[in-house]
Structure 1
Amino acid sequence: MIRTPCLHALLVLLPLAAACSHHDDPAYEEVRPVRSTVVGATGGSVGATYSGEIRARYESRLGFRTSGKIVARLVEVGTHVKRGQPLMQLDPAQETLHAVAATADVEAARSRVAKAGIDLQRTEQLLGRQFASQAELDQQRLALAEAESQLKSALAQQQVKWNQRSYTELVADRDGVVTAITAEAGQVVSAGQQVVTLAGDGEREVLVSVAESRVDELRRAKALQVSVWAHKGKTYRGQLRELAPDADSVTRTYSARVTVADADAALMLGMTASVFAPDVDGDSAIRLPLGAIHHQDGQARVWVVDEKTARVAARTVQLGSAQNDGVLIVGGLAGGETVVTAGVHMLHAGQTVKTAGSPVVAQGRQP
């Protein structure tokens, strides 16, 4: 049995022995695997793409110039028509009656002119025999002038009524193809109401909707290339012809029309088209995935990897335009630098990372 003084001595020696057997273990820093890319200036190959559809340069939304009931529809959607070809007809009965009434007014006006001429001639004869006064002669001259003016008015009204009679037939104003019909036989339409849409032959354009953040980008483009999904590998030269001065009230986008300079029969109306601007951000732009960008203190930053130490450092960059799932970097980076593209929100300054293709090396850190 151990005596009490010996027990006290053992209790004092045990902590010392434990202290002698303890060795300081080196602390290991976590090495986080990340995705990265070596950036480089694109030498003018950075571009922007805008989606749209093929449209005709000239589109006519046709309507009757008088009101009435449609009695005949002479074309179908897709019909190719010539200038002057009838498209629809209104019931001409009412306009015909108006024209007949106007013709009767003309005949009545002619009769009044003839009567006023006879009265003037008779008054002149009576004045020569001193049976009429000069005042009566002047009055007859004024009556003849008034009758002649009424005849001119009646003739003009007659022409108007016959014109309206001809307006009961809607004709094509140019060679083209019918793209829409919004009225049918039996329907009563008002003057000017759109009933047929006609796309003219000849020039073709691409109608695109541009977000407000990309308007200047499209305006600065020096050259445009047009392609269609149906004919992959074939491109056409494009030129910006029209850019709307204000945004659409519903979509809040700006409408732009790009003329296809060398359009051929392969470009059919309504085809899905893409407009590519190859040089919207100049010769020194760099493209990065959106996942490579993180924001801190209101500034856009990326993690740049030091090739020697495999540690990351934050770098503030200037952003250009967004393109699909990428963004253009116009300042803050140089060609040849390695930038983290995935996992940016799990890093801190000075952290060691393992990029794709590099070995994992644990870095010791003293406590």
Structure 2
Amino acid sequence: MKPIGVAVALSLALMLLNGCRESDEAAQASVSAAPQVAIVTLAPQSVGIAQTWPARVIALRTAQIRPQVGGIVTARLFSQGSEVSAGQPLFQIDPAPFKADVEMAEAALSRAEASFRQLNLRSQRLSKLEGTGAISRQDYDDARANAAQAAAGVAEAKAALNRKKLDLAYSTVRAPVSGRIDQQYVTEGALVSAADSQAMAIVQQTDKVYVDARLPASEVRPLLDGQKSGAALTLTLLDDSGQPYDVKTHLLFSGASVSDETGDVVLRTEAENPRHLLMPGMFVRVKITRHLSDSGIVIPEQAIQHQDGKTFVWTLDENSRAQRVQVHLNGQTASGQVVGSGLLAGQKLVVEGQEKLQDGTDVQAKPWKSGA
């Protein structure tokens, strides 16, 4: 081959090599220019929205033990901090004055009954003579009136006796309700009266307790709407560390009015308390979980974008091209936001890297790792 031909062939070969190299570099540059994103494939799951509010424990019943008669306390008949039953004697007030009053009332009743018998017999005798002319009509009428007054005296004496017996019974101060009794506030030898402002002791029924939470009025409606729509509500009581109490609870009611001062509504829960773990005055947290669906879609918070009052996310189609989708959210769970509409199971959702995307952009996708 002539030297000129060889040179031409070498030149052509070099041009071909350079063209291939440039084509490969362009392809690599195109790939490297595609935005990198992290994605998750949406899968249906059981969805529930949980909310917690601070609350306070209140005894089911609280009874202040107060005397209904006055006198000197002679004995305390209970152990402080123990369980008492309704009707159980708690304090003894000196009964001697009341026993004396009962005896006096019994004597007054006997005297009134004797007077009634005498006057009633006179009235009966005069009634037989009233038509004979042996007595005047006035004498007969007076006898009948005296007998009626004596009968009224008997009734009055009986009422007085019953009242004195009631005072005697009240000298033994009894528990009005069953529950746990707190410390005593009066001791033996103390003088008490029915007008005292200080209670002798306090009994609280705590085998069941109320738990009152105060929450904004705007947060009550979703709970009530959920109940009306048949959504299951699960109530849990949590301690300071977030651990649940092993007690059964159920929602009683929400308040019918809103506080003028705070704008809050009372949400009352009743809790079984057989082991008395919940004590009146204790602060706890009420957690209410609203079950929404057995096959809902939950997306990470990082995937959500807001613009002009609307909510958007980015998804990938079957060709790994980005698509912007408007969604509607139904609330927040511990793992993310609940999707009401706009997404379906099986779609690929962009969680990271969406700030570089435009509709139709080719992307490089990799699996998203939560917490990475």
TM over 0.5: yes
Q: Distance in 2 between matches of 1:70 and 1:355?
A: 87
Paired letter, 1:148: A
Output the CA distance in 2 between the equivalents of 1:123 and 1:159: 34
Q: CA deviation at 1:150?
A: 3.3
Query: What is the match of residue 282 of structure 1?
Result: 293
Q: Indicate whether 1:87 and 2:90 are aligned.
A: yes
Q: Secondary structure at the match of 2:345?
A: coil
Paired position in structure 2 for 1:268? 277
Deviation of residue 243 (structure 1)? 1.4
Indicate conservation of the 8 Å contact 2:69/2:170, yes or no: no
Once the two structures are superposed, the pairs formed by residues 1-367 of structure 1 within 5 Å of their partners are 38-43=41-46, 45-48=47-50, 58-64=60-66, 66=68, 68=70, 71=73, 74-75=77-78, 78-89=81-92, 102-103=105-106, 105-107=108-110, 109-121=112-124, 123-124=126-127, 127=130, 130-173=133-176, 175-178=178-181, 180=182, 183-185=185-187, 186=190, 190=195, 195-199=201-205, 201=207, 204=208, 207=211, 209=213, 211=215, 212=217, 213-214=219-220, 215-216=223-224, 219=227, 220-222=230-232, 224=234, 238=248, 240=250, 242-247=252-257, 249=259, 252-258=264-270, 260=272, 268-270=277-279, 280-288=291-299, 295-299=306-310, 301-306=311-316, 311=322, 313=324, 315-320=326-331, 322=332, 327-337=337-347
Partners of 1:305 and 1:99 lie apart in 2 by 92
List per-residue Cα deviations over 1:181-213 (Å, max 9, x = no partner): 584445766489875133265xx4673526342
**Structure 1 CA distance for aligned equivalents of residues 161 and 129 of structure 2:** 37
Deviation at 1:317, TM superposition (A): 0.7
Which moved further from structure 2: 139-148 or 217-226? 217-226
- Does the aligned pair in 2 maintain the 1:289–1:341 contact within 8 Å? yes
Aligned-residue offset at 1:159: 1.4
In structure 1, the residue corresponding to 2:48 is in which secondary structure? coil
By how many angstroms is 1:304 displaced? 2.5
Q: In 2, are the aligned partners of 1:310 and 1:354 still within 8 Å (CA)?
A: no
CA–CA distance in structure 1, aligned partners of residues 232 and 36 of structure 2:
42
Pairs aligned (count): 319
Whether contact under 8 Å (1:302, 1:314) holds in the other structure is yes
Q: Secondary structure at the match of 2:294?
A: coil
Alignment match, 1:12:
none
2:63–2:204 contact (8 Å) kept in structure 1:
yes
Distance 1:329 1:59, change over 3 A: farther
Q: Which moved more, 1:78-87 or 1:126-135?
A: 126-135
CA contact (8 A) 2:70 2:193 kept: yes
Indicate conservation of the 8 Å contact 1:289/1:326, yes or no.
Answer: yes
| Alpha-carbon distance between aligned partners in 1 of 2:345 and 2:307, rounded to the nearest angstrom | 24
Gaps of 5+ in 1: 1-25, 359-367
Relative distance call for 1:287 and 1:309 in structure 2 (3 A) is closer
Seen in structure 2, the aligned counterparts of structure 1 residues 267 and 354 have a Cα distance that, compared at 3 Å, is farther
Equivalent-residue separation in structure 1 for 2:366 and 2:314 (angstroms): 15
| Separation in 2, partners of 1:297, 1:170 | 71
Q: 1:189 to 1:127 in 2, by over 3 A?
A: closer
Q: CA deviation at 1:79?
A: 0.9
Do 1:318 and 1:332's aligned partners in 2 also have CA atoms closer than 8 Å? no
Q: Distance in 2 between matches of 1:339 and 1:210?
A: 38
Question: What whole-Å deviation, never above 9, does each CA across 1:138-187 have from its counterpart, x for those lacking one?
Answer: 33223322321332233123313322332343323455423x45844457
% identity of equivalent residues: 20
Q: Is the 8 A contact 1:41 1:284 kept in 2?
A: yes
Whether the aligned pair in 2 keeps the contact of 1:302 and 1:339 (CA below 8 Å) is: no
3-state SS of the aligned residue for 2:68?
A: coil
Quick one: distance in 1 between partners of 2:146 and 2:184? Answer: 53
Q: Distance in 2 between matches of 1:125 and 1:217?
A: 84
- Paired residue type of 2:48: V
Amino acid at match of 1:334: L
CA distance in 2, matches of 1:147, 1:49: 74
Give yes or no for contact 1:113–1:147 (8 Å, CA) kept in 2: yes
The alignment's TM-score, normalised by the length of structure 1, stands at 0.61
Contact persistence 1:87–1:171 (CA under 8 A)? yes
Structure 2 residue ranges without an equivalent (≥5): 1-28
Q: Deviations over 1:273-306 (max 9, x none)?
A: 777766622334444566665654444x142343
Deviation at 1:48, TM superposition (A): 3.1
Distance in 2 (alpha carbons) for counterparts of 1:291 and 1:100: 87
Closer, same or farther in 2 for the Cα pair 1:284/1:205, shift >3 Å? farther
The alignment's TM-score, normalised by the length of structure 2, stands at: 0.60
